[in-house]
Structure 1
Amino acid sequence: MSGIGLFGVAFQQAQWLSVRQTAIAENVANASTPGYRSVDVEPFDTVLQKAGLDLSLTTPGHMATGMSGIRPPVAERDKDIKVSASGNSVSVERELIKADEVNRAYALNTNVVKTFHKMLLMSVK
């Protein structure tokens, strides 16, 4: 089974999802902390490129949306982030959107792994 890279990529993405969810939870927990800067993680496709795992596009538009990555949280540097008078840059609405993205990505990840596992079991029977 070591030759099947899908499980390795799925595992790496699950780790990334966990790190991103932790960063999101920290942002929400510090939403009213003066001077706190919101954090996020590196995009997942960047993590794959650094690991030497390039994804292939099989059809136009396949994987058109990026995902976010498995690095320690870093301060967001988006131009459109509004900083409150207290110096806090957390937007609870934006964090909830990110949390939903993580939830959907995790559901997709587990469904792909389950389906692939079923296919492997059927091929052995």
Structure 2
Amino acid sequence: MSQLYLFGLSSQRAEWLSQRQAIVAENVANANTPGYLAKDVSPFESVLDTTSLQMSGTSAQHLVASAGRDFGVEEGRQTPWDVTHSGNSVSLEQEMLKAGEVSRDFSLDTSIAKAFHRMYLSTLKG
């Protein structure tokens, strides 16, 4: 196995978080630019959907995840809180919340990667 899946997933997530932080910084930098529209990156779930990893069973007796049911979870897109008369749609409060989410998610991502790394090393040591 050339690369463990969790490390690759963690790396993808870190790249996505750094891209999102750059977009948040760009939005904050253009908070007073007339006509500037706030941007955001697509959710990480859509990035995972492009990997097209599927569960597979080697036997007909294997169970299907969630018994084959679709729970119909819908995600709502976040809209800007206010648009100024100049046409600028950047809300600094909203951008600061996004920056906090990025920081929290990055800390969680690195903590999970560290824990997996420790677990992996402990299995190698025997």
Question: For the superposition of Structure 1 and Structure 2, which TM-score range results when normalised by the shorter chain?
Answer: 0.7 to 0.9
Q: Which runs of 5+ in 1 are unaligned?
A: 59-63, 67-76
Root-mean-square deviation (CA, aligned residues, Å) is 2.4
Please tell me the residue identity of whatever aligns with 2:34.
P
Check whether the contact 2:80–2:89 (CA below 8 A) recurs between aligned residues: no
TM normalised by structure 2 equals 0.77
- In the other structure, the counterpart of 2:42 is 42
1:4-23 alignment, distance < 5 Å:
4-23=4-23
Q: Secondary structure of the equivalent of 2:21? A: helix
Of structures 1 and 2, the larger Rg is shown by: 2
CA 1:80 to 1:28, structure 2 compared with 1: closer, same or farther past 3 Å? closer
- In the other structure, the counterpart of 1:101 is 101
1:37-59 Cα distance to aligned partner (Å, 9 max, x none): 0000000001100121469x89x
Aligned length: 108
Give the distance between the partners of 2:40 and 2:116, measured in 1 at CA.
30
Give the distance between the partners of 1:122 and 1:50, measured in 2 at CA.
33
Shift of 1:82: 2.1
- In the other structure, the counterpart of 2:62 is none
Check whether the contact 2:80–2:90 (CA below 8 A) recurs between aligned residues: no
Shift of 1:79: 4.7
The share of aligned pairs that are identical, in percent, is 49
- In the other structure, the counterpart of 1:73 is none
Q: Which runs of 5+ in 2 are unaligned?
A: 56-64, 67-72
